[in-house]
Amino acid sequence: MIIPINEQYRITTDPYQWIVQKKRSRKGKEDWEPQTYHTSFQSALQSLGEFMVRQSDAATLTDALAEGESITTTLSQALTPQFQVISDVKKTGSDC
């Protein structure tokens, strides 16, 4: 399963793990590079959210809070259509 988050990040899964991936260009072709590996979807999502905040251009606490709100909105919009699919995957035990 592939869950697109935005133009730059996505979360994928296989029978053993959840993977946060980042888009990159390789020999003129679009490719996805693994960034982190997780045992649960919740862990992958939290890690991605934290990473996106750290990578933001926020210079003050106010900026960081605004970025956090924007990132939360991005993640929730990306996940809303995927929620049922993610729930089904959890029920089958694919997030070992």
User: Can you read off the two tokens belonging to residue 27?
Assistant: 């020999």
**Which tokens in the block code for residue 11?**
């979360």
Structure confidence at residue 56 (pLDDT): 86
Q: Are 20 and 26 in contact (CB under 8 A)?
A: no
Kindly report each contact of residues 67-74 with a partner whose C-beta sits within 8 Å and lies 24 or more positions away, as own/partner: 74/5, 74/6
Taking the C-alpha atoms of residue 96 and residue 94, their distance in angstroms, rounded to an integer, is 6
Instruction: Give the pLDDT confidence score for residue 18 in this predicted structure.
Output: 96
What is the reported pLDDT for 74? Answer: 86
For 34-89, the pLDDT digits (tens) are: 999 999 999 999 999 988 888 888 888 898 889 889 888 888 887 776 555 656 66
pLDDT at 23 > cutoff 70: yes
